């Protein structure tokens, strides 16, 4: 029975590895997609900021041209003030001058806002470029590692299945059946050691006589509470 118990432990370790490999087929693609998305989001933020900067630079040039034209119109109107002959012409000219001055004020304010945003965008783009370079370098390394791990899952599963088969064919059929049944209902953990005189699966205390029987390792003993197969470890 000692040999059977040792094979049960090996079998359980293999089954745990197989379960983890099966889980990795789900979470590895998610991790890969998250890394790619982070790279895409960082690149997108940089691209959008660069596009916004281009728009604001063009707007700045337009506002500067507009401002130059309005100032030119204002100067022309102010020169006309020197040659007007009627009060009606004077009133109309005053109104036009006031309108140009208002346009100049509004345009200068808009231009100031644009210049402020350009400065902010330039700082932001510099920051995004640095972040993008770091993310690209770091994530690319992780992606290569994760992809290699994902690609190797099939081979690893095949190796573990071969190991499992090699152990299973040498085991007592009744013991193997008991193990498979308990594993199915206990989430893959069918064999547990005795710890502090109790089942480490459900923590139910074991009577001294049962502990002595487990120590002998000459029969298969299961926990009366949870049904798991109990073994005695030397370190207990």
pLDDT score at 235? 54
The dotted CATH code for 23-153 is: 1.10.287.1490
Residue 49's CB: how many other CB atoms inside 10 A? 20
CB-neighbour burial class of residue 182 (10 A; exposed 0-12, middle 13-18, buried 19+): buried
C-alpha closest to that of 174 among 220, 142, 208, 215: 220
Sheet architecture: strand order including 229-231: 198-199, 191-195, 229-231, 221-222
pLDDT score at 82? 87
Q: What is the pLDDT of residues 135-177, one digit of tens each?
A: 999 999 999 999 999 999 999 999 999 999 999 999 999 999 9
pLDDT score at 190? 95
Element (H, E) at 24: helix 2-80
Which residue, chain included where needed, has tokens 């001055």? Answer: 101
Alpha helices by DSSP H, 81-233: 87-151, 153-168, 173-185, 208-216
pLDDT score at 233? 84
Cα–Cα distance for residue pair 171/107, rounded to 1 Å: 89
- Predicted model pTM: 0.67
Q: Would you list the domain boundaries of the chain?
A: 23-153, 172-231
Query: In the chain, which residues have pLDDT < 70?
Result: 234-236
pLDDT score at 187? 87
pLDDT score at 1? 76
């Amino acid at each position: 029975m000692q040999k059977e118990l040792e094979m049960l432990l090996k079998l359980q370790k293999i089954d745990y590895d197989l379960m983890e490999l099966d889980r990795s087929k789900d979470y590895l693609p998610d991790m890969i997609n998250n890394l790619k998305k982070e790279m895409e989001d960082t690149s997108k933020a940089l691209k959008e900021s660069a596009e916004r900067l281009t728009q604001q630079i063009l707007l700045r040039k337009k506002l500067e041209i507009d401002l130059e034209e309005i100032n030119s119109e204002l100067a022309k109107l102010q020169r006309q003030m020197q040659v007007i002959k009627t009060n009606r012409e004077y009133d109309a000219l005053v109104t036009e001058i006031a309108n140009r001055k208002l346009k100049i004020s509004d345009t200068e304010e808009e231009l100031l806002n644009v210049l402020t945003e350009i400065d902010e965008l330039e700082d932001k783009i510099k920051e995004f470029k640095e972040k993008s370079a770091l993310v690209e370098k770091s994530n690319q390394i992780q992606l290569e590692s994760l992809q290699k791990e994902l690609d190797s899952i099939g081979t690893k599963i095949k190796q573990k299945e071969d190991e499992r088969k090699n152990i299973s064919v040498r085991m007592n059929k009744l013991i193997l059946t008991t193990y498979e049944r308990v594993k199915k209902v206990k989430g893959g953990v069918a064999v547990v050691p005795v710890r502090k005189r109790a089942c480490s699966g459900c923590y139910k205390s074991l009577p001294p006589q049962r502990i002595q029987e487990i120590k002998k390792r000459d029969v298969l003993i299961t926990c009366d509470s949870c049904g798991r197969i109990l073994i005695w470890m030397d370190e207990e």
